[in-house]
A and B are shown apart, each in its own frame.
Chain A
């Protein structure tokens, strides 16, 4: 097979996930021998019209973006949602807690009604187009993206972890954040980051998204046991686009 044509696109986001691709450095140079990058605005001047793999970072927040991703979908064989912004809306979903007029006014004041501030409720990529694969995290773990691409190149189906962050956290021997009187989303969040935050003295804030079969009741009970209300848990859940 000819080298697959890969393109990377960004919508509303911080471009931190793309940065993890750059940060692969040596490994990136190696990966570049296996694929043919045809469009990557942040790193190259070239543009292309069709791709085997389209990697999309960021959330859909306006009609122009919606048209753009539909167009990318038509041109691409596989679409990968890169990071929390694309996968579940990420921090951008916080905007949905307010009316659009309210957020525009807050930021742009008297000029809020001008046309360039066209914006709608934040959507994850899968709310607009079919997504073939997802790479979770805010930012992604570069090794996970490399794994997904390698799977695609060899015709295997990449799989995400189906257990919670707590499992990885306990394996690392961390002292639980609840013991420090903090609220941690580890019990319901998808693992795969090696419990990065609790391993660095901070609570898990759920950036990799909530497990599809997360035991919310258990999480609620754990929080209650430590004197935390569900509202506190809920407020943390909202941060990265989970409900």
Chain B
């Protein structure tokens, strides 16, 4: 174990940088970079509020998803025999009602966009190389669009007499 640091005061400017700590603690090397470090490439002002809107969307969609997802689990996985009752006929019965079609459609869109935006955050946090980050986010975008389009088509083109 390296030396214990007692009552070290770091100016707020350096709160997340670990630079200039001069503690000799090798763990300083792992201290995260400040989230808002400005470089020559940083634009002076961003054009949109995209990140703020994404942050807000996570919270709003989350609240709606509590009802949609927990309701879905209750009806499909718990009530009336649990998973025993699931079959093509059961799906046909539920999608005969526009109400449940809309429920599933909204749940699909919100959960995919919420989950995919959350995955974007996770990728941004852990993929350090620019190229890796770009490829992972490209793959994520393709998978998300594919899933949302496929799911939407399935709900709208469902044919009980197939």
Q: Do A and B come from one complex?
A: no
B contact set with A: CB distance below 8 Å: none
Give A contacts to B, CB under 8 Å: none
